[in-house]
Amino acid sequence: MEEQRKNGIPISSLEEFIKAINENCIDKRRLFLESMDDVWFRGESKIHPKVIPSLFRDDFNENIPKGISVTKESDLIEMAFQSFPEVFSKCNNAIERLVTMQHYTLPTRLLDVTKNPLVALFFACFGNDGKPGRVLFAKHTFSKETDLNIVATIIELWGNNSDVSIDVIIKILKSKDLVNQKEDVFKPYLIDLVTKPLFYLPKYNNQRIINQRGAVICAPLFEFDAEGNLFHKKAFDLFDFFDEKYFEITGDKKRILRELDNYGINEAFIYPEPEHQMQYIKNCFTPIEQWELGV
């Protein structure tokens, strides 16, 4: 197993977590609301050596020689569109369609993050009992929706070719009226755009994303070949996109979840759909001793 590449700050309670957030994520020279504007969090219930969007996870798993991978990305998108046209009919562009796929748990190159550190702490504690979780954080500003729409359009239209030239990509984008710059200006801009992670704040058009204060990171699409004139779709680890520090949940996860519940952060809030609301009600009537044992 790979060595951990970040510095874990041990957290055993909600109080410790809030203190650690104040010490590591807030610029004390500025007002709170300003200083947290560009800080985003991701909670994971288990510590992994990589941070991988769902589409790529099989590519990084040596035990799964043939799983869902980046080579099947466009086929997956096409099948989703064909199977549920009514779901995607409400989307105005390609990036909204990609976010909709993520919302319905289909594998994508998007990675969920949240503005609310307590929501991230919930995800770090919800599941994998007995194993430490973690909360990662990153300080980045959002990319423009027009840029994300360009990236998502390429994802939809490119197909499963092993490579494609930058000139072909620009031609496709021009046919979709997504390019209004001269090619010599747009080409280096596009090359930069498709080789780095992009933050995107989606429209808050459903209760789950509102409650979770969610956003996404779009993993890079391509890398250059040796000649520098062809692109290849690639699987990508976003581990280094986050801060070198992270918060390691070393305490009793169930106890921290109960502490979060006191402040309204619970399964019913995170997942406002009826099945999760019912599960929360069930837990309210389960004796604490059984709940801690996972009965």
* Residue 275 forms part of a structural domain: no
Q: Report how far apart, in Å, the C-alpha atoms of 231 and of each of 162, 189, 201, 220, 244 are.
A: 8, 15, 27, 11, 30
Residue 218 located in a structural domain? yes
CB 56 within 8 A of CB 236: yes
Q: Let me know if residue 30 belongs to a domain.
A: yes
Q: Please check whether residue 41 lies inside any domain of the structure.
A: yes
d(CA 289, CA 7): 34
Could you tell me if residue 115 is inside a domain?
yes
Query: Is the residue at 164 inside a domain?
Result: yes
CB 94 within 8 A of CB 155: yes
Position 12 in a domain: yes
Count of the separate structural domains present in the chain: 1
- 120 lies in which domain range? 7-264
Structural domain includes residue 235: yes
Q: What is the pLDDT of residues 45-80, one digit of tens each?
A: 999 889 999 999 888 887 776 677 888 888 899 999
Taking the model in full, what pTM does it have? Answer: 0.87
Q: Provide the residue-wise pLDDT of the chain in tens; the chain has 295 residues.
A: 445 567 899 999 999 999 999 999 876 655 444 445 578 999 999 998 899 999 998 888 877 766 778 888 888 999 999 999 999 998 999 999 999 999 999 999 999 999 999 999 999 999 898 899 999 999 888 899 999 999 999 988 876 666 788 888 898 899 989 988 888 889 899 989 999 999 999 988 888 889 999 999 999 988 877 666 677 788 899 999 999 999 999 999 999 999 999 999 999 999 888 777 788 788 777 665 555 545 4
Q: Is 181 exposed, middle or buried (0-12, 13-18, 19+ CB in 10 A)?
A: exposed
DSSP for the chain?
-PPP-SEEEEE-SHHHHHHHHHHHT--TTS-HHHHTTTEEEEEESS--S----GGGTTTT-TT-SSSS-GGGHHHHHHHHHHH-HHHHTT--SHHHHHHHHHHTT---SEEEEES-HHHHHHHHHSSSTTS-EEEEEEE-PPPPHHHHHHHHHHHHHS-S-S-EEHHHHHHHHHHTT---S-HHHHHHHHHHHTTS-EEE-----SHHHHHHTEEEEEPP-EEE-TTSSEEEE-----GGGS-SEEEEE-S-HHHHHHHHHTTT-SHHHH--SHHHHHHHHHHHTS-HHHHHHT-
